[in-house]
Structure 1
Amino acid sequence: MASSVRNGSTGNLPAEANAFIGRASELTRIAGLLGTARLVTLTGPGGVGKSRLALRAAHDESDAFRGGVWLVELSELKNPDLLTNAVAEAVRLTEQTLRPLLDAVCEHLTVGPLLLVLDTCEHVLDECARVVQELLANVPELRILATSRQPLGVPGEHLLSVAPLPLGERDDAVALFAARATAAVPSFALTDANRTHVAAVCARLDGIPLALELAAVRLRGFPLDRLLEGLDSRFDLLVSPARPRLARHQTLRTAIGWSHELCTPLERLLWARLSVFAGGWDVEAAEFVCHGGPLDAEEILALLASLTEKSIVTREGDGVAGRYRMLDTVRTFGAEWLEGLGERDAVRRRHRDYFRWIARQGEAEWLGPGQRMWAERLTVEHANLRLALEECLVAPAPETALELAGTLWYFWFACGFAEEGRGYLERALRRAHDPGPEHALAIWAHRLVTVVPDDLDAAESVSAAYVWLAQERQLPVPALPLTGASLAVRGESARSAVLYGSSSRGPGGGGGAEFFQLLTLALQAYLLAGQGAFERCATVAERLRADCAKRGEVWMRAWADFFVSLAGIGLGLPDEGLRSAREALAAKWRVHDRLGVAAVADLLVAAQASRGEPETAARLLGVGTRLWYAAGLPQLGDCEATVFRREYARHLRTVLGETAFAEAVRAGQELGPDEAMRLALGGALEDQADL
């Protein structure tokens, strides 16, 4: 289970890739500021080390923040309107309602002392300022550490300007260069004999950390004295007689440009084309997007290895699952080169089309044994999917955006991004005026992601529009009975049964059609359970379970197990209910469905209480509270209308007594993720995958 604000974990900070060098005084100042100020912004030019300093400071101060330390990387965010979504995703908030997302984030973060690190704010500065003000106003114990090339301009902001590293022979710049040089060339060692040359290299590069790291890698091909000579000749060409010393931003650009000149022509071309990715990429994506002209797809793996050796790109992970990334400043240089080559639009289209293909592959294979892999893969590629969607939304043909946003229905619906999916689908639908299969798919997907407890009106209005569209335009896709589901969620089971339709067809072809058939069975089971028809519910759920098993499908199969469990409890078979609930929980955990995990946890309360295990049931009630907040909802629907919360809490208070009940619930709330899952699964924690 992934770390989350309300499950006792400490956040999402990544491990540091290599040793942190120097900056002792800055770290002391940041620690002091975070003790008194609510917003601290590290400012400075690109490449000066703001992000690395913030990450080091966050690690150092993590013990002071019981609510966790959470990193929000904004460099890959192209649309400022999605900044709140980026924050929600970073803090593991799966928001499935239509209330303002920022309100949900504020509620989610109200858990005690908490540090939010907003990294690389300058390109979304206005939206950052707005969101930061809202967060600080509504989350009393929140501290924010931001990095930006310019201040956010928020009242109460404390600024710390990050300067280049000190340049003396015994100072940080020399220590950093020596450490990175030793990593690049193990035989290198800083000695009294070469210290002066190293200090001269650092001075030539103005002590800018990124420039020092790029230069250190060059020792693989140049001895130290030749490296210094190369820097001197390269930099002297750009020094104006009126300006004997380069400005720092010129120094960094010149250092990157010098690395660029030392690359082969094909390495430069790949560097430029890779700049279109957001966040990162794998080898397959690079081969598809970046091949063409003199650059064959078969050459790209070797060229990536070469660019990695030169520190132009960095590699994360091992084997075929390895991914590559590029620092923002290096990516910007490549993007400018790509523009100069006149290839920007063509490469962006290839990027868009590759991720359209990925979305279609995921949809085709979603209902099968690869479901967990696709959930993980698309989550990793989220930034690239956003970029592809933005490119589709400016394409001349509106069908392109309809097709991609609609094809991603399974990502929006099952992986916790319903709010974002609604936004993209609505933008795509506003551009489209002509009917067609893409339009029908987008409407179906939009309706699918409106099945949330407080979205009944939207579900009904979309339903009416969909029926009208199908009738007027003779579209082949019938209406999906989601209005009945929304009513059932809100407790209106009788009305839901009237509105529930019997259609068994879904979007034409592909994973959507099969998913529709499975979803129809799930909704039948849901509505029957809401009406207390447990035997019929069990029959439908068993059919759903069998259909999922034939496909190797996990996500919907877990809901089948959920309804089998619910029916078992309702029929007085709590052991059967417990067994099926645990199967559902393990499956929901594997496919990253946090909302599903929370729903099953409530079901386990009922199962354990029915089995005569009141203390365990009360502890699971506490676990469920934390899981619901991790999923972005207090409960699925109104707390007072939730039978597990209302009836079983009352029953457990009576059995245990108020004091023992409260202590057991509190004990469950205080469990960490692994301990909570062991309790829920009866001690069998078989899968350590993050949720």
Structure 2
Amino acid sequence: MAASVQGGRIGNLPAEANVFVGRRRELGRITELLRTERLVTLTGPGGVGKSRLALRAAHAAKADFPGGVWLVELSELRDPDLLTNTVAQATRLTEQTLRPLLQAVSEHLAGAPVLLVLDTCEHVLDECARVVQELLAHVPELRVLATSRQQLGVPGEHLLTVAPLPLGERDDAVALFAARAVAAVPAFTLTDDNRADVTAICARLDGIPLALELAAVRLRGFPLHRLLEGLDSRFDLLVSHARPRLARHQTLRTAIGWSHELCTPLERLLWARLSVFAGGWDVEAAEFVCHGGPLDPEEILPLLASLTEKSIITMDGDGAAVRYRMLDTVRSFGAEWLTGLGEAEAVRLRHRDYFRWIARQGEAEWLGPGQRMWAERLTAEHANLRLAIEQCLTAAEPEVALELTGSLWFFWFACGFAEEGRTYLERALRRAPEDGGPEHTLAVWAHRLVTVVPDDLEAAESVSAAYVWLAEERRLPVPALPLTGASLAVRGESARSAVLYGSARQAPSGDGGAEFFQLLTLAVQAYLLASQAAFERCAAVAERLRAECAKRGELWMRAWGDFFVSLAGIGLGHPHEAVRSAREALAAKWRVHDRIGAAAVADLLVVAQAAQGEDELAAHLLGVSRRLWFAAGLPQLGRPDRTVFHREYERRLRTSLGDTRFTEAVTAGRELGSEAAVTWALGGALDGAGGGDGADGSGGSGGPGGPGGPEDSSEPGDSHGPEGPGDPGTSGAPGA
């Protein structure tokens, strides 16, 4: 399965921001259609409530889709070529793969009934149609619910037009206005005395939900009768001459325009400048990008608060994690205003330069205690980074694109965006001369770092096969160490090593890439020593790596030190210590979104548990590792018919447990969702609920989903902080 029910959570649907009002008939119809039709598209004008209706319908349909209900928000996507990447990321498929990505997505979604919700398709319509048609052809269990102002035009598409809300005194439009009015002004009550005015307001706004919500917020500054009078004057002026087919579109624009007029000049200016962001933004970004002229940086925060109160923007999170967003229709209005002011190009360049600075800061601080923060921050800013890169790729100076895409090497390589990074780096390199200076060198280095070529897999497999033979000949305690994953993940093959060494020598002195390579060199040495069964020397080099990372408070490369300490512990006959270090590595890899690294560590856990005689637990973990290789976009590295490691351990564990117990255990591990799988691999042993005492790191042998099992919603491995692992007898909050 692509996902499973774990802790009551399926897929990635966000919580609904407020109470859903009305639309019972439409919801019932969507439910019926999703049971019989494979593609349902909700169409209608902007602001009519397509996205909100789709989200409500998706929540209602979760029980029908054990494979997951996955929301793919496309409004912030600018480049149609990245649509498949966006689908992969939304469905939690890390696209570190050389196979066609759409093929990987199809395999990832296959196995159980699954619903994909594609929201706001109209601006990437052709690519949406192509991707949907391919997915429907190759995933028989798939249903797609799309929202778009235009139909996709895919064979078999069933259209459902979303109309404005009904306008009678007891109908949905009045109920929605009243609900949003109470949210804006808690003292408001819908009564027989004011119902006629509310009904008139709803009629003036044609029952368009977004217009109703914007109008309801105006009650903070206007009594109800004044609100109606203001709408009357605005609409008499601007709507009366609109052609009939444009009336509803003009109604929404007029409602937004009236909200715009009621803003102060500085609020209007900030609204316009904020329109350059893709997705969301934080206060720091707004202060940098939007200041200038009459707008001072210190005025940005109170203006953001004011625009939030007026429902022009929305706010998520709290404290330092606060982020703001703007609805597409509202953003489009601001963008037109920005163009009219003649500021569009200048503000876009400030946006680009801010995210260039963010990338440089992230690179400089990646190998330090802020690593996890940077992984999460740049993941949150992914849409803005894409927009900044596209801006760089159109700049007259090609070195600007080389610098930005190259500076993000750590984001592409360690945070699960290798395929996208390769695409951007190749585009930047094609525009630049080969002797382009340090920016060119950095981009070449980054491209080599994130590129996995077929020879890598062959080299990794040959090393693993050789070790199986060596282990059998020497009767080592563990016959097949999982070197395939380690080889791939640290790019440690001898042929690749030469390429990386050559590239690193050219890297600008003192930059993050050069420092990273110093640590990578230690990981490569540990890998090569392990492949020669020189376990004591491997452990010594791995300890050096851990010490160097500890100086920096670094997690990602530190996890490779944990990995090789664990691997050496297995070879030296210390499986309890090996389990402890492997779990520390897994927690860290998952926290910084390194899916390939997590899969490689899961392989190691199979070996460590088998070395302790925990064969059933090892079989569960074998299924978990297959799930994680699948999620990393490299399922061939988890298949027993394709890799020596999985073939060897399938044979040994099947012999030990018998066919039935082995198959049940592997299936249970494989059918967990990726987050649940990692959570179980950590929490099942570390929280004491799985039967282990936690004293020696061995944990219990309970299977996935047993008592004390994890929830998909939290984060695994919080006990492994930047300064090193925490108490192994205490698990952190599970999930990712």
Fold match, TM over 0.5? Answer: yes
3-state SS of the aligned residue for 2:263? coil
Pairing 1:445-464 to 2, within 5 Å after superposition: 445-451=446-452
Q: Say if 2:596 and 2:629, in contact at 8 Å, map to a contact too.
A: yes
Q: Over residues 66-109 of structure 1, what are the superposed CA-to-partner deviations in whole Å (9 max), with x where a residue is unaligned?
A: 00000000000000000000000000111212111111101111
Shift of 1:7: 7.9
Residues 116-135 of structure 1: per-residue CA shift (max 9 Å, x gap)? 00000000000000000000
Any residues of structure 2 matched to 1:300-311 within 5 Å, and which?
Answer: 300-311=300-311
Distance in 1 between the 2:242 and 2:283 partners?
47
Q: Aligned partners of 1:510 and 1:609: how far apart in 2?
A: 42
1:389 corresponds in structure 2 to 389
Aligned counterpart, 2:352 = 352
**For the Cα contact (< 8 Å) 2:399–2:436, is it kept in 1?**
no
User: How many angstroms does 1:523 deviate by?
Assistant: 1.6
Task: Give the structure 2 partner of residue 468 of structure 1.
Answer: none
- The 5-angstrom pairing of residues 240-639 of structure 1 reads 240=240, 247-433=247-433, 434-451=435-452, 488-489=487-488, 496=495, 505=505, 507-508=507-508, 509-634=510-635, 636=637, 639=640
Deviation track 1:376-405 (CA, whole Å, cap 9, x = no partner) reads 000000000000000000011000000000
The 2-side partners of 1:236 and 1:51 are apart by 30
Range 190-199 or range 606-615, more displaced: 606-615
- State the alpha-carbon separation in 2 of the partners of residues 491 and 549 from structure 1: 19
* 2:126 counterpart residue number: 126
RMSD: 2.5
8 Å CA contact 1:605, 1:617 repeated in 2 = yes
- Structure 1 residues 486 and 199: alpha-carbon distance in aligned structure 2, compared to 1, 3 A threshold: closer
Kindly state the Cα deviation for residue 510 of structure 1 after the two structures are TM-superposed. Answer: 2.1
Alignment of 1:161-176 (within 5 A): 161-176=161-176
Q: Once the 2 structures are TM-superposed, how far is the Cα of residue 587 of structure 1 from its aligned partner?
A: 1.5
Equivalent runs, 1:82-161 vs 2, <5 Å: 82-161=82-161
2:365 partner letter:
E
The reply on whether 1:648 has 2:649 as its aligned counterpart is yes
Identical positions, percent:
77
Q: 2:731 aligns with which of 645, 662, 686?
A: 686
More contact order relative to length (CA 8 Å, sep ≥ 6): 1
Please state if 1:45 is matched with 2:45. Answer: yes
| Structure-1 residue corresponding to 2:669 | 668
d(CA) in 2 for partners of 1:13, 1:486: 32
**8 Å Cα contact 1:485/1:496 also seen in 2:** no
Measured at CA, do residues 496 and 637 of structure 1 come closer, stay the same or move farther in structure 2, by a change above 3 Å?
Answer: farther
Partner of 1:216: 216
- 1:5 equivalenced with 2:6 (yes/no): no
Kept in 1: contact 2:490–2:523 (CA 8 A): no
Name the stretch that deviates more: 538-547 or 236-245.
236-245
Q: Is 1:106–1:135's contact at 8 Å kept on the other side of the alignment?
A: yes
Relative distance call for 1:246 and 1:129 in structure 2 (3 A) is closer
| 2:711 counterpart residue number | none
* Aligned-partner SS, 1:115: strand
**What is the deviation of 1:656?**
1.3
**Whole-Å Cα distance in 2 between the matches of residues 67 and 638 of structure 1?**
21
Measure how far apart 1:4 and its partner are: 6.8
CA contact (8 A) 1:668 1:676 kept: no
1:517-576 CA deviation, whole Å, 9 max, x = no partner? 011111222233233332332222111111111111001100111111112112222122
Return the match for 2:682 from 670, 677, 685: 677
Distance 1:389 1:296, change over 3 A: same
Contact kept? 2:683, 2:734, Cα under 8 Å? no
Higher mean C-alpha deviation, range 611-620 or range 71-80: 611-620
Structure 2 partner of 1:70? 70
Counterpart of 2:401, as a letter, is: A
Shifted more, 239-248 versus 516-525: the winner is 239-248
1:6 touches 1:627 (CA, 8 Å); kept in 2? no
Shift of 1:515: 0.3
User: Paired residues, what number?
Assistant: 665
2:158 match: secondary structure: strand
Give 2:264's aligned amino acid. T
Q: Shift of the alpha carbon at 1:590?
A: 2.2
Task: Quote the offset at 1:670 in angstroms.
Answer: 4.2
Residues 157 and 641 (structure 1), Cα distance of their counterparts in 2 relative to 1, 3 Å cut: closer
Q: Which residue of 1 aligns with 2:201?
A: 201
The structure-2 alpha-carbon separation of the partners of 1:374 and 1:101, relative to structure 1 and needing over 3 Å to count, comes to: same
How far apart, in 2, do the equivalents of 1:497 and 1:146 lie?
Answer: 44
Question: Partners of 2:98 and 2:514 in 1: how far apart?
Answer: 26
Q: Aligned equivalents of 2:612 and 2:246: distance in 1? A: 76
* One-letter code aligned to 1:384: N
Range 582-591 or range 158-167, more displaced: 582-591
Q: Which residue of 2 aligns with 1:467?
A: none
C-alpha distance in structure 1 between counterparts of 2:424 and 2:394, whole Å: 12
Structure 1 portions without partners, runs of 5+: 460-483
- Change in CA separation of 1:680 and 1:90 when aligned onto 2, cut-off 3 Å: farther
Inter-partner Cα distance in structure 1 for 2:437 and 2:642: 41
Q: Gapped runs of 5+ residues in structure 2? A: 461-482, 687-698, 701-728
1:231 maps to amino acid: L
AA aligned to 2:216 is A
- Mapped pair 1:55 → 2:51: no
Q: 1:216 to 1:575 in 2, by over 3 A?
A: same
Distance 2:517 2:271 in 1: 43
Report the counterpart of residue 474 of structure 2 in structure 1. none
Contact 1:599 1:636 in 2 (8 A): no
Aligned-partner SS, 1:237: helix
The verdict on how the C-alpha distance between 1:608 and 1:235 changes in structure 2, with shifts beyond 3 A counting, is same
Q: 2:283 and 2:223 mapped to 1: Cα distance?
A: 32
Distance 1:626 1:86, change over 3 A: same
Q: Are the counterparts in 2 of residues 211 and 252 from structure 1 also a CA contact under 8 Å?
A: yes
Output the CA distance in 2 between the equivalents of 1:156 and 1:162: 19
Whole-Å separation in 2 of the counterparts to 1:242 and 1:17: 34
Q: 1:501 to 1:186 in 2, by over 3 A?
A: closer
Flag the 1:177–1:458 CA change in 2: closer, same or farther, 3 A: farther
Structure 1, 413-422 or 444-453: larger mean CA deviation: 444-453
The correspondence of residues 27-38 of structure 1 with structure 2, limited to 5 A, is 27-38=27-38
